[in-house]
A = this chain, B = another copy of it.
Amino acid sequence: MIRPFAEPDWEQVWPIVREVVRAGDTYTYDPAMSEADARGIWVESPPGLTVVASHDRVAGTAKMGPNKAGPGAHVATASFMVAADSRGQGIGAALCRFAIDWARAQGYAGIQFNAVAESNVAAVTVYRRLGFKIIGTVPRAFEHPTLGRVGLHVMYLEF
């Protein structure tokens, strides 16, 4: 069900990315992001990887790779997006489990999430269940469209 992104997937991935960035309630991406910019940000090249969760259609997508360069390159990061009409079915958790397995197999020391909106309770709950710890929370660092400024968690799973 989860497989590497291939070129023909983009026409199904872009509506998911667009929906998530336009909503502006989970990621620190520009809500007005263009399709070309989204492609550049979302479709990873090696050593990174982009995948899709797809049965008859693409319902979710993830990207993963080194979090930083040089002396920080042994720690991975990952991001996940699930189509609004496919949420609550465990697709995000499956993508996160995939990223954990991938990063472990690639020899990374752990996975860091740099900016998880504390209001994104569904995501925080999944991450914690999968073993991620909250390293700290930058107060009021995320401008939520309806809740105002909420904290951004830095989360980490060390292998």
How far is A140 from B157 in the complex, measured between Cα atoms in Å? 12
How far is A29 from B66 in the complex, measured between Cα atoms in Å? 12
Query: A residues 102-156 with Cβ under 8 Å of B?
Result: 109-110, 112, 114-115, 117, 134-145, 149, 152, 154, 156
Nearest B residue to A136 by beta-carbon distance?
Answer: B136
If A24-B70, A30-B70, A31-B70 touch, whether A139 touches B114 (CB-CB below 8 Å) is: no
Can you tell how many copies of this chain the complex includes? 2
Query: A residues 47-86 with Cβ under 8 Å of B?
Result: 67-75
A109–B31 contact, CB under 8 A?
A: no
For A28, what are the chain B residues with a Cβ–Cβ distance below 8 Å? 68-73
If A24-B71, A72-B143 touch, whether A137 touches B135 (CB-CB below 8 Å) is: yes
For A35, what are the chain B residues with a Cβ–Cβ distance below 8 Å? none
B154–A135 contact, CB under 8 A?
A: yes
How far is A3 from B9 in the complex, measured between Cα atoms in Å? 48
Q: Let me know if A19 is at the binding interface, CB within 8 A.
A: no
A112–B135 contact, CB under 8 A?
A: no
B142–A109 contact, CB under 8 A?
A: no
B114–A114 contact, CB under 8 A?
A: yes
A72's partner among B67, B68, B135, B141 (CB-CB below 8 A) is: B141
User: Can you show 5 pairs from A to B with CB atoms below 8 A apart?
Assistant: A27-B70, A31-B70, A75-B141, A112-B138, A135-B136
Known: A31-B71, A33-B70, A75-B141. 4 other contacts (CB 8 A): A31-B70, A73-B143, A112-B138, A136-B154
